[in-house]
Amino acid sequence: MSTTKGVNRNLLLRILSYTRPYSWRLWTSLALAVMLAILAPVRPYLIQLSVDKFIMGNLLQGLINISVIQVGILLIESLFRFIFMYVSSWLGQTVVNDLRQHVFKKIVHQNLSYFDKTPIGTLTTRTVNDIEAVNDIFSEGLISIIADVLTIIAIMAIMFYTDWRLTLISLAVFPILILATYLFKESVNKSFQRVRNAVARLNAFVQEHITGMYVSQAFAAEDRELRKFIEINKEHRNANIKAIFAYSVFFPVVEIILALSMGLLVWYGASRMLDYKVSQGIIIAFIMYLNLLFRPLRMLADKFNTLQMGMVAGDRVFTVLDSDEHLHNNGTVKPGKINGKVAFEDVHFEYVKDIPVLRGISFNALPGETIALVGHTGAGKTSVISILNRLYEIRSGNILIDDVNLNDYDVLELRKHIGIVLQDVFLFSGTVFENITLRNENISLEKVQATCKLLGIHDFIMRLPDNYNFNIRERGNTLSQGQRQLLSFARALLYNPSILILDEATSSVDTESEILIQQAIDKMIKGRTAIVIAHRLSTIRKADKIIVLDKGVIIEQGTHEELLRLNGTYEKMYTAAMSTSQQQLA
């Protein structure tokens, strides 16, 4: 972790490593910083010559010539400064672009367990706000600081060369400026850290509560959530106000110190000028030197804070990049085809260490068989299908597909052969076509239409405005639950998977939609290995094998008729389900 007391050298080098593909731009920026530092004291020196040599000597042509030279140097300096600012900003934005791509790539390859404990709003802050702060290291931080320091050194060098006594008198108030700068830097640095933390909390809170707005409104919790938001927002405001206060004090203090420096310069310079030890040109040049000197000094502390906050933000970004919770895809098997044989062998799994979810799960599914998982809430049904798709890693045991260990497969290739339909269907902003294909440019509209016709949902899509180009909008709120579910079926079937996973696909739809969905399911599972989770036991009676789970353990398994004859847990669940169904019909 970087600290507030200094710059973490290793962290800075790691950030700078992202400039390696653009090293010539970095070196161009540094070269321009050196050139600007050299040019900074040139114009005041030329003005000194103008006054002492050409004006006092009444040499008009010489004055004209040196004025033209000054204009030329001013234009050159302006051009260099423009290129310097443009190249520095370009470098920062390019590094941000590359870094943001790396972070997003890392995030999308994390295990789902990472998202279980990391707020989405926090990841949004890391991907957007914190990475943008890294850009400031280049545009307003490191390179700019180097340029300012070189400028200060060049100006002070020419001042001491011109008159060291006058320079020491002029800079006598510098210790006060150094103290004020240090106090300002520390105050603003602490405030900026508070601001960053508050921004992360704001993003996490807003993202979570906008996503869950339905729940807040359904339970009339708007006012309570608003009060919580006001507290978080107030902390953000207070942190910013503290930083503003520091700026409001520091800049006037710098102006006062500059005025004191000018006063000492005029007082001492005038006395020496009367004794003919200092010329008028030197006094004028020194006034310009001090203005040029205080301008970077005034901003140096602020830029150093910007550098440090960029480092803090970079450290947070690298925490995401260094997370070891990503999916370890070390498998080399890339099957062109999977038959669909599935075997669980004494599988143990846990979301949180030492809190088991699955304990010694073992079962087999032959190619083309339908396996149904049933059990009360928390029995471990969803966990079984999550680890089959390697969304989570198991603690021990083996999962085999076609007698090959799951970890031996290239996970990206494996998932092409596994289709999954979840109870909570997530649709992205975009068209129906884009949501079914997930923006895969290699899939044609004709193939999508053929899949939808096979499932019997083509007609429903054609009744939508703009058909397959109908804009679904965020989270699919323009469609019913049943319609979203049907689109998820098309999404799963489009790749012609050998293994199909259905997680309570009919639990949240009406009877009419359930009939349509059940027909689609029958078509989907034909000729495929299917693992089905369903609360409505009437939908899984045709399964080749029904597995009853309780607290992460298989307590019964067999066909529908076999389990009924056992008069065990399944029989009780089925009898209760049928009784409830008859009461609803009555």
pLDDT in tens, 310-362: 888 888 888 888 877 777 778 888 888 888 889 999 999 988 888 888 999 99
Give tens-digit pLDDT for 156-169: 899 898 888 888 99
Mean pLDDT in residue range 363-377:
88
Mean pLDDT in residue range 199-212:
77
Give 1's pLDDT tier (boundaries 50, 70, 90).
Answer: very low
What is the per-residue pLDDT for 5? 47
Predicted TM-score (pTM) of this structure? 0.71
Mean pLDDT in residue range 263-285:
83
Q: How far is 518 from 505, CA to CA, in rounded Å? A: 9
- Which residues, 6+ apart, have CB-to-CB distance to 231 below 8 Å? none
* Range of lowest pLDDT (5-19, 335-349, 366-380, 561-575): 5-19
More confident residue, 476 or 115: 115
Residues 162-184 as b/e (b if ≥16 CB within 10 A, e otherwise) read: bbeebbebbbebeeebeebbeeb
Determine the straight-line distance between the first and last CA of the chain, rounded to whole angstroms. Answer: 65
What is the per-residue pLDDT for 511? 59
What is the per-residue pLDDT for 91? 87
Q: How far is 108 from 101, CA to CA, in rounded Å? A: 11
Q: How far is 295 from 72, CA to CA, in rounded Å? A: 23
Average pLDDT of the residues of the chain: 82
Q: SS3 for 534?
A: coil
Contact call for residues 361 and 384 (beta carbons, < 8 A): yes
What is the per-residue pLDDT for 80? 92
Half-sphere exposure of 64 (CA within 13 A, CB side): 3
Highest mean pLDDT among 479-488, 507-516, 545-554, 568-577: 545-554
What is the per-residue pLDDT for 83? 92
Structural domains present in the chain: 22-321 (1.20.1560.10), 343-585 (3.40.50.300)
* Range of lowest pLDDT (17-21, 519-523, 535-539): 535-539
Tokens of 466: 């703009």
Q: How far is 184 from 305, CA to CA, in rounded Å? A: 9
Strand order in the sheet with 355-365: 355-365, 342-352, 396-401, 404-405
> In Å, how far are 372, 427, 495, 518, 554 from 375, measured between CA atoms?
10, 28, 30, 20, 10
Give 72's pLDDT tier (boundaries 50, 70, 90).
Answer: very high
pLDDT of 524 over the 60 cut = yes
Q: Strand ranges (DSSP E) for 413-560?
A: 418-421, 499-503, 529-533, 545-550, 553-558
What is the per-residue pLDDT for 2? 40
Mean pLDDT in residue range 429-435:
85
Name the burial class of residue 497, with classes exposed (0-12), middle (13-18) and buried (19+) by CB atoms within 10 angstroms of its CB: buried
Share of the chain above pLDDT 70, in %: 92
Residue 130 DSSP one-character state: I
What is the per-residue pLDDT for 586? 47
What is the per-residue pLDDT for 585? 47
